[in-house]
Structure 1
Amino acid sequence: MRISGHEFARMCDATLTGAVATHQEMLEMIKQAKKYHFYSVIGQRCYLDEMVEKLKGTDVLVGAGCSNITGADPAEVKANFAKWHLAHGAQEIENIMNISAFKSGLDDMVVRDVRAVRDAIGPNVVYKCILEVCYLNDDEIRHACELLIEGGVDYVKTSTGKAGPATLHHVEVMSEACKGRAKIKAAGGIRSIETVERMLDLGVERFGVGLESAIKIIEEANSK
């Protein structure tokens, strides 16, 4: 599937979540989000109020994560954090699957965790949950997709991008497992319009890409 830079931007959640990301860089992300019309931005949560205020009245949404990088926060903590983000203006919520519980075979705990956030935010807020596919084999990816769907997600997301990249194979396995019951968001290691277009062909509907790489992909798409 061939797409333009603008079409990619309207599928892209531009991110700036590194530990050393600065306030000035956040302001630059807001500027670029307005210029390129990214679907949403996700930044350091300490700047959430400011991001929401500066993007008010634009076509750019503000997303937020409700879990630490391991996904191992108690479900109640995630649920309360998700509600806090919504109260401060976030419009989409991302969770991270409790990887420890999943690897321990505690399927009920995984589903309860995912469902707790869904119940906290209600049925109308877009809700994504991250598998962190670099830690999972194919059978685990398939099973995790089933658990997340049972928990009520809108999107199953490949990765945070902090632990390892998402591959075309990961996306293919997820697409086959979800069978249209949940949408797929790819993130982690996406650096070219070619990768984006191949992932679209496999069923991806949203992308999470660091701001710098997202702009490069837009420029690459527009130069084709």
Structure 2
Amino acid sequence: MTIQAELAAIKTKAEMNNTREMQQLAFSCIDLTTLNATDTISHVKAFTDRVNDFANDYPTLQNVAAICVYPNMVRTVKEKLKVEEVAIAAVAGGFPSSMTFIETKVKEAQMAVERGAGEIDMVLPLWAFLEGDKLICREEVSTIKKAIDGAHLKVILETGALATPERIHHASMLAMESGADFIKTSTGKMNPAATPEAAIVMCHAIKEFWIKTGKQIGFKPAGGISTTPEAMLYLSIVKEILGEEWLTPKLFRIGASRLANNLLGNLLGDEIKYF
């Protein structure tokens, strides 16, 4: 079956999956993200406070999975966050370009973990991958994974730059074999960002790796996902290829900011601007 044929079939399932239960699940899998050059300490504090207040304001709904920020804002989130079940994630390792020294990448990731991050989102060094130097890619992922001492590692493939299914599959396998706990589509800083086609390729790679090793790797689409139907499509891709076992924040995340408000609006039947 071609990717387009598979996508067409999954789109039909996604329409049926657009239920309140699935919308709530999608919300609980969000990495609530603020990654702007204008992020200030006061903004990040206010951003974190919305997560703190969520249980009181919406007691029947499950909170988001994580807050994702730049490394220098991790300590602010750590000091402010009161909700134990919400993880702290940081982009690190020269995000979003990965165009810096491995020593700098390692130190930045370590410092983010020391300041409170339990998850690190790093970018696969595209410059090396596109040059055909897979050894550098493997060394960077494995070195950073070792350096962050038990924190979860999400490896961003930047699938829009990889362009072909073959490259996306190869990068997915390389990242997982090198120690990634999650593979993630995009930084959200270049176009195209997340696409359903890339998600299908990545989920098949995760399934292949799982069959080969018995290890379950998580999947995170990110970049440009803002509407409820889009979220339902990505959940349906995971459900159809990997199974319902993957439909949990432990193995599925959505990197988003606007999506959280849109899902809340659908769940509550009103326009919501909470985050």
Query: Structure 2 length normalisation: TM-score?
Result: 0.75
1:174 aligns with 2:202: yes
Match 1:22 to one of 40, 52, 55: 40
Q: Is the 8 A contact 1:16 1:43 kept in 2?
A: yes
* Paired residues of 1:192 and 1:220 also in contact (CA < 8 A): no
1:55 match: 81
Q: Deviations over 1:104-149 (max 9, x none)?
A: 0000110101001111123x32110100111012111000001101
2:156 aligned with 1:130? yes
User: Which amino acid is the alignment partner of residue 177 of structure 1?
Assistant: A
Q: Distance in 2 between matches of 1:183 and 1:4?
A: 18
SS at the partner of 1:110?
helix
Superposed, which structure 2 residues align to 1:95-174 within 5 Å? 95-122=122-149, 124-136=150-162, 137-164=164-191, 165-174=193-202
1:195-210 alignment, distance < 5 Å: 195-203=230-238, 205-210=252-257
CA–CA distance in 1 between the matches of 2:73 and 2:106? 20
Q: Secondary structure at the match of 1:187?
A: coil
Larger gyration radius, structure 1 or structure 2: 2
RMSD: 1.9
Which AA in structure 2 matches 1:155? F
SS at match of 2:113: helix
* Structure 2 unaligned spans of 5+: 1-16, 55-62, 211-215, 239-246, 271-275
| 1:186 maps to 2:232 | no
1:64 to 90, 103, 110: 90
> 1:57: Cα distance to partner?
4.8
Cα 1:174–1:25 change in 2 (3 A) is same
CA distances 1:29-48 after superposition (whole Å, capped 9, x unpaired): 11222244221111233322
Could you tell me which residue of structure 1 aligns to residue 263 of structure 2? 217
For the 8 Å contact 2:91–2:121, the answer to whether it is kept is: yes
Aligned to 1:94, the other structure's residue is in SS state: strand
Higher strand share: 1
Q: CA deviation at 1:90?
A: 0.9
Task: Name the CA distance, whole Å, in 2 between partners of 1:160 and 1:47.
Answer: 18
User: Which residue identity lines up with residue 216 of structure 1 in the other structure?
Assistant: N
1:183 Cα shift? 1.6
Percent identity for Structure 1 against Structure 2: 25
AA aligned opposite 1:193: T
Does structure 2 conserve the Cα–Cα contact (< 8 Å) formed by 1:16 and 1:42? yes
Count of residues in Structure 1 that have an aligned counterpart in Structure 2:
222
CA contact (8 A) 2:69 2:91 kept: no
Summarize deviations over 1:3-31 as a string: whole Å, max 9, x none: 35543232010011111233333223112
Q: Which ranges in structure 1 are unaligned for 5 or more consecutive residues?
A: none
